[in-house]
Amino acid sequence: MIEFKAAVVTAPDSGVPILDATTLTLSEERISVIGANGSGKSTLARLINGLVLPVSGSVEVEGLDTMRDGAKVRQKVGYLFTDPSAQLIMPTAIEDVTLSLRRTIRNRDERTAAALRALTDIGLGQKADVSVNALSGGQRQLLAIAGLLAVAPSIIVADEPTTLLDLRWRAHVGALLRSLPVQLIEVTHDLDSAARAERTIVIDRGAVVFDGDPAEAVHMYRDLMYGRASQGVDE
């Protein structure tokens, strides 16, 4: 369960509001977040992992405050970025997953075995010793997911995880994410994917403007964006 309690985010230097006071309780297993570029949806997602902290109000994940218990929150919440390249640190696939396990498994052989299991489970067992630079974009995103799953988070926040992928990988990664036994919060521009959630939140200009049924949310968002496009895109 994730609880936003009047959480406000402003730009660090200018104090310009990025996310207005937001109060939400997220308990569904599959939640999608949609909104235009710069609307504040990634900020909302980052609040869950403690990557962004509210200037007022609070965010709690399973009873842990992201401000006070950031490290513990990050053990529960895995965060998947749009571009997996920045998320992968070690030279080969298995070494990258092993890095995630350093704090939980002290024995190196056990750590390597666990990393290999995580890679095999996700279909990258054959690529364990391959350089991350030699993997395709889709394989890199799978590797980033394997790195998250290796530490068994209960929540995954995915920030546009399929935006950079081709159609084949988009379908594969999307289906994989939806099949995971975790609570999934997906920020996306893919309205088909958003509509498959149990609940959809629409963010516009730093505020939640719709929260509820995915089909209605997508319909409302389309109307909002097409209406704005008809008035021109200069804002």
Partner 1 sequence: MITLLGIYRPRDTPLHNSSAAFKMALLLVTSIAAILTNDPVSAVGIAAACLLLLASTTPPARATFRGMAGIAIIAAATSGYQMWQGEYFRAIDTSADIIAIAALALAVTSSTPMEEVLDLVSTLARPLRRVLPPETIGLMFSMMLRAIPEAAQILNEARTAARARGLERSPRAILIPSATRTVGFAINMGQALHARGIADEAAPRAL
> What's the CA gap between 66 and 48, in Å, rounded?
7
3-state DSSP percent of the chain in helix, strand and coil, to 5: 40, 25, 35
CB of 210 to partner 1, least distance (A): 27
Strands 17-26 and 155-159: unpaired
CB of 163 to partner 1, least distance (A): 14
164 binds partner 1 (CB under 8 A): no
Q: Which of 88, 158, 173, 201 binds partner 1 (CB under 8 A)?
A: 88
Q: Which of 40, 54, 147, 206 binds partner 1 (CB under 8 A)?
A: 147
27 binds partner 1 (CB under 8 A): no
Look at residues 5, 112, 7, 111 and name the one whose alpha carbon lies nearest to residue 63.
5
Span from 55-63, 100-108, 160-168, 203-211 in contact with partner 1 (CB under 8 A):
100-108
> What's the CA gap between 85 and 119, in Å, rounded?
17
**109 near 60, Cβ under 8 Å?**
no
CB of 47 to partner 1, least distance (A): 12
- How many CA atoms does the CB half-sphere of 78 hold within 13 Å? 24
For partner 1, the closer CB: 91 or 123: 91
136 binds partner 1 (CB under 8 A): no
Positions that interact with partner 1 (CB under 8 A): 49, 51, 70-71, 74-75, 78-79, 81, 83, 85-92, 95, 98-100, 102-103, 108, 129-134, 147-148, 151
